[in-house]
Amino acid sequence: MKLARIMLLAVGMAAAVSLTAAAQDADTEKGIEKYRQMLREDPWSNPGLLDADRGETLWKTPRGPNKVSLEKCDLGKGPGKVDGAFAEMPRFFADAGRVMDLEARLLWCQEKLQGFAHADLIKRPHPGGGQPVKDTGALATYVASKSSGMKLSAKFAHPKEKESVALGEELFNRRSGPFDFACATCHAEAGKRIRLQPLGFLASPEGAKKVVGEWPAYRVSTTNVMTMQHRLVDCYWQMRLPEPEMGSELTVALISFLTKQASGGQISAPGLKR
C-alpha cells in the first residue's frame, strides 16, 4: 500500500520535473516539497531501508572466494563493530596505511577478508537509473543507517587525515576540465540552483551540515539508493571530467573535506533526495 503510494508519487514527480516552462517551476517545487514531507512524516516509507536490510544480510553472509562474512571487518571501532562506526569516518586505518571513507573501507574488507578481486569490485560500481544499488552500496547503506541519529564526528587529527582534508579542499576549489568548473562553481553560493535542483551550499559549514549526513540517500528520480562515492561520480560527469575511481585517494579526500565541513551535522541515512 505504502509502496504503491510512493510509485504513484514518483511517476507524478517525474512528469512534473519534465515540465520546463518557468511558470511551472514554483508549483513543481511545491509539489516536490509536499512529497518529501509525506515521506518524512512516515520514515518507514523510505525505500532505501530495503537496501539497508539487504546490506545487513550481505554483511552477515559468508561470501567471496574465502567464504567468510564481513563480521570481522574493522570499520575503526574494532572488528565487527558497526554501531556508530560511520559517524567517525573517514579515518586513518593503520592496516591499510591510508585514510578511508566508509565505501573505501568496505572495498578493503571485501578484498582482504572475503578475497574478492579489487578490480572486480570497482568495475561499474554504481547502479544505472532504476537498478538497485550494488552490493557495496547496500553494505554502505546498512552501516551508515547504524549511525543514524548521531552526529558526524570524524576527528581529522591524524596527520594523514589532515592531509586528506587539505587535498579535498584543494580539489573542491580547483577549476579544471573542458568547462573550467570546480566543485565550488556550483556549490559555493547560497540559494543557487540548476533548473529545479537546489545546489548544496557545501563551501559553508552550515550548508554542508544540512545535507552531508543524508548520504547514502534514496533518490526518487532514479528509484535507487545513491552513495556519496556515486554522488561524486555524477558531479564529475557534470564537470565533463573522467570518472574518478571508487575509493581512490581523490574521492576519499573530497569526502574528507565535505565531512569536515559538515562536522557536527546530523546523520539521517539513508536520506531522501529528489
Catalytic positions, please?
A: 235
Residue that the C-alpha cell 568548473 belongs to: 181
* The three cell numbers locating residue 217: 540517500
Q: Which stretch binds ligand HEC (CB under 6 A): 14-22, 54-62, 87-95, 231-239?
A: 231-239
What does the per-residue mask of binding to ligand HEC show for 166-185, with x meaning CB under 6 A?
------x--------x-x-x
**CA distances (Å), 147 to each of 62, 214, 225, 266, in order?**
24, 11, 17, 10
- Asked if 266 interacts with ligand HEC (CB under 6 A), we say no
Please name the residues in contact with 114: beta carbons below 8 A apart, sequence gap of 6 or more. Answer: 63, 64, 65, 66, 67, 68, 70
Confirm or reject binding of residue 254 to ligand HEC (CB under 6 A): yes
Q: 148, 173, 197, 222: which one contacts ligand HEC (CB under 6 A)?
A: 197
Binding status of residue 194 toward ligand HEC by CB under 6 A:
yes
- Should residue 187 be labelled a site residue for ligand HEC when binding is judged by CB under 6 A? yes
**195 CB burial (10 A radius; 0-12, 13-18, 19+):** exposed
Q: Does 201 bind ligand HEC (CB under 6 A)?
A: no
Taking the C-alpha atoms of residue 171 and residue 194, their distance in angstroms, rounded to an integer, is: 21
Q: Which chain residues interact with ligand HEC by CB under 6 A?
A: 172, 181, 183, 185-187, 194, 197, 199-200, 202, 211, 214, 231-232, 235-236, 238-239, 254, 258, 274
